[in-house]
Amino acid sequence: MTEQFRQVRQRADGATLVCAYLLALLIIPARLVLSFVPMTLPPALVIALLLGVLWLATQMVDTLGMGKGRNVVRTAVGLYLAAHLATYGVATRRWLPTDELTTADSSIVRIVATISVAVFICDAVRTKERLDKVLKLILGCAAVIAFVGLVQFGLGIDLAGYVSIPGLRAQENGYAVMESRSIFRRPTGTTNHPIEYGLVCAMAVPLGAHYVFKARDEGTPHLRWLACLGLVGLGAMTALSRTAILVMAVAGVVMIATLPRKRKITALVVGGGFFLGASLVVPGLFGTLRGMFSNIEDDPSVKARTADYAAASEQIDLNPMLGRGFGTFLPTKYTILDNQFLLTLIENGYLGLFALIGMFLAAAFAAIRVRMISDDQHLRGLAACVLSAVLAGGIGAFTFDLLGFGVATGLVFTMIGLAGAMLRIAKAEAAAKTGLAEQQVPSSRTD
């Protein structure tokens, strides 16, 4: 009994804490926030702040198994944090209206907590097995979100609305669940918005495909992974979101570019068959999706996005380097900007924008680097999945105000952290193999 308890204690590590964060982020409905604090604080952000404190504590010792040394992702995320702190310092030093100052204070807490997650993951997930555990949990949680969304889409029943947790209160997010586009309801799952829901589902599609292929290669049961893949794929389509469709298209390109030749053909056939099957099961779905892109120049939402560019340029000229302050460009007071890069340029200036782009580029580089230095096919496949997710975050930042949606932001930063973690893992495995090879080479020196 003691030995069994000891084994359970040994399995609890940084990845376990990351899994706890992901469960709070993805499974607890996003509308539920702490009821006993004045600011809007979801449970996932509380865990994120604790992870940040824990990371600081572990950096002071060498006995807790945290990663040390340089990492391109951690450096990029650190620079992004520095840009936010600089913007906050400059913004709060000058006069701000009370509503903007209050939002700036809460926004800096949110972004610091989210950044803490990425840094913690980068250093805490140390082995391929623990990395695998975290990614499987992401896929499973995304499948749950998709299931809730599909019930909303097909039956008009909001399962997330029945969830009530002591200590949490429901917060209105300004969006009515199951509003319609064309003849269909737009689901949200456990998230706050259909765009966010579609992005989360679409980011999980490559993971579902990877684990289906892996299970078939190993001869293990693959139906559960196939079910997850079907749920997230259908969830992304029924979100009726251009962002979700673009993310799935980019994921398809990445998969086709990285899969072996036989799997490329399989992926194309299965993907085409799934799309055709979904269109037959849900009559009118294909026409609605096609209309979202064929009439894009006449779409009111697209026109509204481009109409704000002139006003945005005026705001940028006021504080070009560090911006007016993160979170201070209130949509209820000014206008809604469905472009995170443009919003970042206004709120964080050019330095903040370059830091944000650099963070995405560093994570993408880390995932590509893993594929270059690792000969483990499973790790290489996971790197392709994370690369797709990082690119999905970049697409989301271009098509809507990504950082205004907690679930999507948390998942994107999780994937950025995982890119840094798998680069550490790949380098460690490569160094171990190199050291083993050097030990096996017989010495040429004679006595």
Average pLDDT over residues 182-209: 88
Per-residue pLDDT reduced to its tens digit, 65-116: 787 888 999 999 999 999 999 999 988 888 888 888 888 889 999 999 999 9
Q: Is residue 121 part of a domain?
A: yes
Measure the CA–CA gap between 255 and 261, rounded to whole angstroms. Answer: 11
Number of domains composing the chain = 1
Q: Is residue 231 part of a domain?
A: yes
pTM > 0.85:
yes
pLDDT tier for residue 227 given thresholds of 50, 70 and 90: very high
Measure the CA–CA gap between 293 and 242, rounded to whole angstroms. Answer: 8
Average pLDDT over residues 327-351: 86
Q: Name the pairing type of β-strands 168-170 and 32-34.
A: antiparallel
| Residue 308 DSSP SS3 | coil
**If we measure between CA atoms, which residue out of 227, 238, 18 comes closest to residue 123?**
18
Per-residue pLDDT reduced to its tens digit, 231-266: 999 998 888 888 888 888 888 888 888 887 777 777
Range of the domain at 254: 12-60+69-425
What is the rounded average pLDDT for all residues in the chain? Answer: 84
pLDDT at 17: 94
Measure the CA–CA gap between 250 and 201, rounded to whole angstroms. Answer: 14
Flag whether pLDDT at 220 surpasses 90.
no
Measure the CA–CA gap between 189 and 148, rounded to whole angstroms. Answer: 5
Q: Is residue 445 part of a domain?
A: no
Q: Mean pLDDT: which of 251-255, 337-341, 404-408, 415-419 is highest?
A: 415-419
pLDDT at 145: 96
Q: Is residue 212 part of a domain?
A: yes
Cα→Cα distances 244→138, 194, 292, 395, 403, Å: 17, 9, 12, 9, 16
Measure the CA–CA gap between 382 and 426, rounded to whole angstroms. Answer: 12
Q: Is residue 297 part of a domain?
A: yes
Contact in structure between 72 and 423 (CB atoms under 8 Å): yes
Flag whether pLDDT at 1 surpasses 80.
no
pLDDT at 6: 46
Per mean pLDDT, which range of 101-115, 207-221, 312-326, 380-394 is the poorest? 312-326
- Quote the DSSP letter at residue 441: S
pLDDT at 360: 96
pLDDT at 355: 96
Cross-strand pairs, 180: 185
Q: Per residue in 141-169, is it b (16+ CB within 10 Å) or e — as a string?
A: bbbbbbbbbbbbbeeeebbbeebeeeebe
Ramachandran category for residue 293: left, alpha or beta (phi over 0 → left; psi -120 to 50 → alpha): alpha
pLDDT at 444: 46
Q: Is residue 438 part of a domain?
A: no
pLDDT at 7: 46
pLDDT at 282: 63
Residue with tokens 């679930």: 407
More confidently predicted of 154 and 175: 154
Measure the CA–CA gap between 283 and 26, rounded to whole angstroms. Answer: 30
Backbone angles phi, psi at 185, to 5 degrees: -75, 150
Residue with tokens 């509503």: 99
Q: Which two tokens stand for residue 198?
A: 């579609």
Q: Is residue 44 part of a domain?
A: yes
Strand ranges, E, within 211-294: none
Per-residue pLDDT reduced to its tens digit, 126-139: 899 999 999 999 99
pLDDT at 409: 95
More confidently predicted of 68 and 416: 416
Q: Is residue 163 part of a domain?
A: yes
Measure the CA–CA gap between 24 and 212, rounded to whole angstroms. Answer: 26
Per-residue pLDDT reduced to its tens digit, 49-65: 999 999 999 888 887 77
Per-residue pLDDT reduced to its tens digit, 359-392: 999 999 999 999 999 888 899 999 999 999 999 9
pLDDT at 284: 61
Q: Mean pLDDT: which of 146-150, 259-263, 265-269 is highest?
A: 146-150
- Quote the DSSP letter at residue 182: T
